[in-house]
Amino acid sequence: MARKNNLDVIINSLERKPDEWRVDEFWARHQSGVTLWIGNGFLGYHVEKPEYQEFGLLERIRLHKAVKALLDLKQAQGPFQ
């Protein structure tokens, strides 16, 4: 249950507060210190910090959709926004 709640909070933050996230080809980092590994495609997605946590397949797909939307938004904003 806690794993699902953590994922819901992360996805909510990705969708509603994209300016608080920094993304490169390997990491998605929130200003609070939450770090997601996104480097191996959605099958490898996991929380790296503050505590290592993996997700099930359906959870990773949900997270992938949110990360992809964030990446698309960041690319549309351009490099200096």
Q: H or E stretch including 27?
A: strand 27-30
The first and second tokens of residue 51, run together, are: 């505590």
The first and second tokens of residue 64, run together, are: 């992938």
Residue 26 has pLDDT above 80, yes or no: yes
Q: What's the pLDDT score for residue 15?
A: 94
Q: In this predicted model, what pLDDT tens digit does every residue of 32-76 receive, in sequence order?
A: 999 999 988 888 899 999 899 998 999 999 999 999 999 898 888
pTM of the model as a whole: 0.83
Which residue ranges make up each domain of the chain? 2-77
Residue 1 has pLDDT above 70, yes or no: no
Q: What is the CA radius of gyration of the chain?
A: 12
| Cα 80 to Cα 63: distance, rounded to the nearest angstrom | 25
